Amino acid sequence: HLGNATAKAELGRAAWRVLHLMTLRFPDKPTPDDRETLKSYFHLFARLYPCGECAAHFQKLLKEYPPQTSSRKSASLWLCSLHNKVNERLGKPEFDCLTLDATYDCGCGDNSTNTTT
């Protein structure tokens, strides 16, 4: 199956951006409901992601590395390491997860994107 690699890559970049920003905006001290919501979100996302091959692989990764939801920091570092697993499989360079805060800005007009502050 050839597919359209450009469209698939575009979809991937958009999806990763949303996912990373979501974890970087997750509460520092999440309620049990916040935690359940994030966990469900990732499982539903992995079921519905439009690239079937990607979705199947991501579901396996989630089984092996279940979402970490105890804090903003644990959630964002968990997702960063999962993205690195996908990078590795696709022959892409490893991303330095210590630069997450500097890399991502949601443009949301307030000051709550940082994992460290």
- Catalog residues that contact ligand FAD under the rule CB under 6 A: 8-9, 12-13, 15-16, 20, 49, 53-54, 57-58, 80, 83-84, 86-87, 90, 92, 95, 103
Report whether 31 contacts 61 (CB < 8 A).
no
CB nearer to ligand FAD: pick between 28 and 53: 53
Measured from each CB, the residue nearest to ligand FAD is 12
3-class DSSP assignment, residue 86: helix
CB nearer to ligand FAD: pick between 5 and 32: 5
Quick one: which of 100, 98, 110 has its CA closest to 23? 100
How far is the first Cα of the chain from the last one, in angstroms, to the nearest whole number?
46
Minimum distance from CB of 38 to ligand FAD (Å)?
A: 15
Tell me the Cα Rg of the chain: 14
Q: Where are the beta strands (DSSP E) in 12-110?
A: none
CB nearer to ligand FAD: pick between 35 and 58: 58
Minimum distance from CB of 30 to ligand FAD (Å)?
A: 20
Minimum distance from CB of 31 to ligand FAD (Å)?
A: 25
CB nearer to ligand FAD: pick between 29 and 48: 48
Q: What is the rounded distance in angstroms from the CA atom of residue 15 to the CA atom of residue 21?
A: 10
Residue in the structure block whose two tokens are 């999440």: 30
